[in-house]
Amino acid sequence: MNPQSHVRIMTRMEAFRGLGPKVGHTMGTMASTTDFSLTATPGRQLPVAVRAEGCRIWTADGREFIDACGGAMVMSVGHCHPRLIEALKRQADEVTFTYRFAFSNEPMLELADLLREISPMPRTWSFFNSSGSESVESAIHLALLYWQLRGQPAKTEFISRYPSYHGSTIAALGLSGTSRRNSFEALLTKNAVAQTPNADIRARRTPAAEVEFAIKQLEDAIAARGADKVAGIFLEPITGASGAAVTPPDGYLERVRELCTRHGLLMICDETITGFGRTGTWFGVEQWGVAPDVITFAKGVTSGVVPFSGMLVAGDIADVLMASPDGFPVGHTFSGYPLGCAVGAEMVRVIRDEGLLENARLMGQRLRTGLEAIAATTPHIGDIRGMGLLQGIEFVEDAESLAPRAGAAARVTAAARDRQLMIYSCPTALGSSVLESVLLAPPLNITSTDVDQILDRLSDAIGAA
Ligand code: PLP
């Protein structure tokens, strides 16, 4: 160790004092203050997190942040939930890896069983991966294999919506209706062709007219390709990073279900953000009583304890795969990872034991009421939306024009960060406009005191921005 870095570590050790007993464990591993990892913030050193618990993160320079967005809507039960850490340690002492073509493992069997109990689909089967993008890829694989086995190999195309986000791998990015695809367009397919309902508040359509508008977008897309070429429709029940919790009008998802059934398309819901209790039900589609054919999930399933994701498949679809000699032969090296499965299974029990669906509904209502009170104090909030503990705020110039307030998402997010409050910035391209919104997704086990503190800091940040 060079003497220079030793001096820096000692300086940090000073800063750690007062952060509580756990912090000492992290100090021995501190090595460098220079960041040689590729970041999206060149030239700006991000604060170094040294400890996290619940909705709080402490940094090496001694600051305490409230994490009101779980990084990227990851932290379903906050940071370092003791039961999840315990499940991880227990499993790590037993089996840390099995290769899916050679062995099964106990937590995988257990999680698949538990998911049958909480899935909104009949006779659910599961498949596990490590990230949201991977599970979207798995759903693509599954859909193509399914139609091949059903004797319809020409069904290879997908319809998805804009704005939306389904991941960063090439096929998942191809499904996504986001400006994040711009630099990679040459490799992507044009799947995101139908507008997400309620994404454009300037249209001022009634809920019924919005349903008709958005369903027609999907119908036109199906007609343009031919239903015999379309394998399925991908959608987020409520959007996350794109548009900030854009919530469909009642009747829309029910109509999508009917449309998929009528045209013979798989309805694939990407619940990477809305899954595992975020909206107050296990999965977002349950808010409308809809059973899709496939659900993908990630993020909240392990609350950041280990990278993990998965796909739920309705029994009648899975039956076709499992009746073929090859079953579902595609996946990734870490598909069925025992550590992820163990933490995921414990997550189901934690959400049940701690009554967190109920808490998400209650605290979501408190958060929503507070956000509406903030909106009443400024002309620059054009919409508050979302369900449970997934709430989005859209900034506008004024209530008459509802014109996007340029740069507001970044300014409010920065002002919140200055007040040690983390929220998620979602500037979203729609046509020639950039919609300016931010997202809040605090943990499902948040307390009313913490909700109120989030609201105080946010109100202050919005006032300053
Ligand atoms: N799908 C949705 C709805 C997402 O929000 C995300 C990530 O934000 C993904 C997929 C991709 O997940 P990951 O970044 O874990 O690959």
Domain-located, residue 216: yes
Helix, strand or coil for residue 380? Answer: coil
Give me the domain span that covers residue 198: 85-353
What global pTM score does this model have?
A: 0.94
Distance from Cα 463 to the centre of ligand 1, integer Å: 31
Distance 70 CA to ligand 1 centre (A): 13
Which atom of ligand 1 is the closest one to the Cα of 133?
16
pLDDT for 43 equals 85
Q: Is residue 90 part of a domain?
A: yes
Per-residue pLDDT at 32 = 64
Q: How confident is the model at residue 31 (pLDDT cuts 50, 70, 90)?
A: low
> What b/e sequence results for 267-306 when a residue is b if at least 16 CB atoms lie within 10 Å of its CB, and e otherwise?
bbbbbbbbbbbbbbbbbbbbbbebbbbbbbbbbbbbbbbb
CA nearest ligand 1 atom 7, residue: 167
Residue 24 has pLDDT above 80, yes or no: no
Cis-peptide into 443, omega within 30 deg: no
Q: Is residue 51 part of a domain?
A: no
Residue 16: the pLDDT is 43
- Residue 182 DSSP code: G
Ligand 1 atom with least separation from CA of 134: 16
Which atom of ligand 1 has the smallest separation from the CA of 240? 5
C-alpha to C-alpha distance for 445 and 356, rounded to whole angstroms: 6
Evaluate if residue 7 carries a pLDDT over 80: no
- pLDDT reading at 20 higher than 70: no
Question: Can you say whether residue 249 is alpha, beta or left, with left for phi > 0 and alpha for psi between -120 and 50 degrees?
Answer: beta
Cβ-proximal residues to 276 (8 Å cutoff; 6+ apart), any chain: 76, 282, 283, 297, 299, 300, 301, 347, 351
The 10s digit of each residue's pLDDT in 411-452 is 999 999 999 999 999 999 999 999 999 999 999 999 999 999
Q: Best substitution site from 75, 128, 133 to test ligand 1's pocket, by max atoms within 8 Å of Cβ?
A: 133
pLDDT of 148 > 50? The answer is yes
Atom of ligand 1 nearest to the CA of 274: 3
Most ligand 1 atoms within 8 A of CB, residue of 130, 272, 273, 334 to mutate: 272
Which residues touch 264 (CB under 8 Å, ≥6 apart)?
152, 155, 227
Query: Is 402 inside a domain boundary?
Result: no
The one-character DSSP state at 230 is E
Please give the distance, rounded to the nearest whole angstrom, from the Cα atom of residue 309 to the centre of ligand 1.
10
Amino acid 10: pLDDT: 35
Nearest Cα residue to 392 out of 431, 435, 360? 435
* Mean pLDDT of all residues belonging to the chain: 93
416 CA → ligand 1 middle, Å: 24
Query: 392 lies in a domain?
Result: no
Model pLDDT, residue 44: 86
Give Cα 163 to chain centroid, integer Å.
Answer: 14
> Residue 133's pLDDT is what?
98
pLDDT, residue 18, reads 46
313 occurs within a structural domain: yes
**What pLDDT does residue 13 have?**
39
Tell how far the Cα of 240 is from the centroid of ligand 1, in angstroms: 9
The structural domain count of the chain equals: 1
Residue nearest to atom 1 of ligand 1 (CA): 166
**Residue 233 vs residues 14, 73, 142, 225, 295: alpha-carbon distances, Å:** 54, 24, 13, 13, 12
Let me know if residue 130 belongs to a domain: yes
The token pair that represents 284 in the structure block: 């977002």
Q: Can you give the pLDDT at residue 451?
A: 98
- CATH number of the domain to which 306 belongs: 3.40.640.10
Compute CA 429 distance to the chain's CA centroid, rounded to the nearest angstrom: 19
Cα–Cα distance, 326 to 156 (Å, whole number): 19
Residue nearest to atom 13 of ligand 1 (CA): 132
Q: How far apart are CA 299 and CA 271, in angstroms?
A: 9
- Of the pLDDT bands very low, low, confident and very high (cuts 50, 70, 90), residue 164 is very high
Residue 30 is predicted with a pLDDT of: 54
Q: Is residue 25 within a helix (H) or strand (E), and if so which, with residue range?
A: helix 24-27
Pick the residue whose CA is nearest to atom 12 on ligand 1: 132
From ligand 1's centre to the CA of 142, what distance in Å? 18
**Which ligand 1 atom sits nearest the alpha carbon of residue 298?**
15
Looking at the CA of residue 167, tell me the nearest atom of ligand 1.
11
Kindly list the protein residues whose Cβ atom lies closer than 6 A to any atom of ligand 1: 72, 131-133, 136, 165-168, 236, 240-241, 270, 272-273, 298
Q: Which atom of ligand 1 is nearest to the CA of 299?
A: 15
- Residue-wise pLDDT tens digits, 184-228: 999 999 999 999 999 999 999 999 999 999 999 999 999 999 999
% of the chain beyond a pLDDT of 70: 93
Confidence of residue 41 (pLDDT cuts 50, 70, 90): confident
Centre of ligand 1 from the C-alpha of residue 280, in Å: 20
Residue 81 gets the label, from left (phi > 0), alpha (psi -120 to 50) or beta, of beta
| The two structure tokens encoding residue 60 | 């090496």
Single-letter amino acid code for the residue at 217:
Q
User: Is 174 within a domain?
Assistant: yes
